[in-house]
Structure 1
Amino acid sequence: MQDEKAFIASLLNPKTQDIAFRQLVSQYSRPLYNHIRNIVIDHDDTDDVLQNTFIKVFQNLKNFKGESKLFSWIYRIATNEAITFLTTKSKKNNISNEEVQQKALNSLQADEYFEGDAMQLKLQQAIASLPEKQQLVFKMKYFEDLKYEDISEILGTSVGALKASYHHAVKKIEDFINSH
């Protein structure tokens, strides 16, 4: 993609905004889908959250100050939308976010978009047993291979704290897999 400042300018210019936004959607759809899917688990829910993310991005482009990378800003919106979705769903069903994720995990085997085997399902169960922050850090680092610096910008947490969270998450996942 072109220089980020020029691209942001084209997103903000009414004459080039439509083309630039289509380019943004094209570039970010797959990675954002994967990121959101890691959080909400269910395919249909992921599609809904992805759509809401792009709506929020479009609505808030004029507020983007360029203090972080466009990538980090978009991922922060996607992360917040996914967490908000889980919170809303849990309140609607009068259960915790963890229970929402557990229900989604239980239906994962029947999900035609899930291509994993028994070990991958066990890994997903192990991840679901982690606190929400550790889940996010682990998924962003392990599945998406994001740099700690990028995760730090997205989640607004120090790199040191992220490394500690990731280390604790890995240890808990190893313990879960070895004991189940």
Structure 2
Amino acid sequence: MQIEDSEILKKFAQENTRDEAFRLLLNKYQQKVYWHIRRMVISHDDTDDLVQDVFLKVWKSLSNFRNDSQLYTWLYRIATNESITFLKRKKIRNSVSIDDDDGKNMVKKLAESPYFDGDKAQMKLQKALLTLPEKQRLVFNMKYFDDLKYEDISEILGTSVGALKASFHIAVKKIEQLLLNTD
């Protein structure tokens, strides 16, 4: 049985059940956050580091959570911002575009990763995704893989629903073209 977010927040607000609440939050969201980040940064090791950073930030900030959004959209916003910041820092450090010359370095990382266990079709899809600009890839991942509603993505990214629908549509068309033009 999955615990409700309101129950987690109630437990977190009490000093004597705060650790239990955080464990419940981790059990409920850690895997989702991991995959959300992983689809953005590709590297398993970088993802593990970012997941730790995200949940450390959540631990420090959860008592200030205002309940004006859903808990999972707040978590996704933190994970998204941490991932984008990481990619920007990496870009500066390596003088490489976040979009990474059509994703060539990230595709190479993905292909060499011992943690990627997908089949040939999944690899083709991931390679196609890595050619998308960062925002289109992010919107596609959140809609397609995380099955989030446009309204939730809008809340996470601070973008209008209309713009998100357009980004998703363009991303889908680009992916279709790439998949049709590859062997």
Task: Provide TM-score, normalisation by structure 2.
Answer: 0.91
Structure 2: distance between partners of 1:6 and 1:28: 14
More displaced stretch, 68-77 vs 106-115: 106-115
Q: Distance in 2 between matches of 1:73 and 1:58?
A: 13
Q: 1:93 to 1:107 in 2, by over 3 A?
A: same
Change beyond 3 A, Cα 1:112–1:63? same
* Alignment partners' CA distance in 2, 1:2 and 1:127: 33
Distance 1:3 1:29, change over 3 A: closer
In the aligned structure 2, how far is the partner of 1:91 from the partner of 1:124?
24
Dislocated runs of 4+, deviation >4 Å? none
Task: Give the corresponding residue for 1:102.
Answer: 104
Listed one character per residue, the Cα deviations across residues 57-82 of structure 1 (whole Å, up to 9, x for unaligned) are 11111221110000100110011111
- For the residues of structure 2 that align with 1:117 and 1:135, how far apart are their CA atoms? 20
Give the length in aligned residue pairs. Answer: 180
Q: How big is each residue's C-alpha offset from its partner over 1:86-132, in whole Å with a ceiling of 9 and x where there is no partner?
A: 11111111211122953232121221211123332222222112121
In the superposition, relative to structure 1, how do residues 3 and 173 fare at CA in structure 2: closer, same or farther (>3 Å)?
Answer: closer
| Distance (whole Å) between structure 1 residues aligned to residue 28 and residue 84 of structure 2 | 23
How far has the Cα of 1:16 moved from its partner? 1.1
Separation (CA, whole Å) in 1 of partners of 2:86 and 2:23 = 24
RMSD: 1.6
Does 2:166 align with 1:164? Answer: yes
Gaps of 5+ in 2: none
Q: List gaps (5 residues or longer) in structure 1.
A: none
Q: Which amino acid aligns with 1:62?
A: S
User: Which of the residues 152, 156, 172 maps onto 1:150?
Assistant: 152
The match for 1:8 is 9
Match of 1:54 in 2: 55
* In 1, Cα distance between equivalents of 2:128 and 2:22: 37
Query: Which segment is superposed worse, 147-156 or 79-88?
Result: 147-156
CA distance in 2, matches of 1:129, 1:161: 20
Identity %, equivalent residues: 52
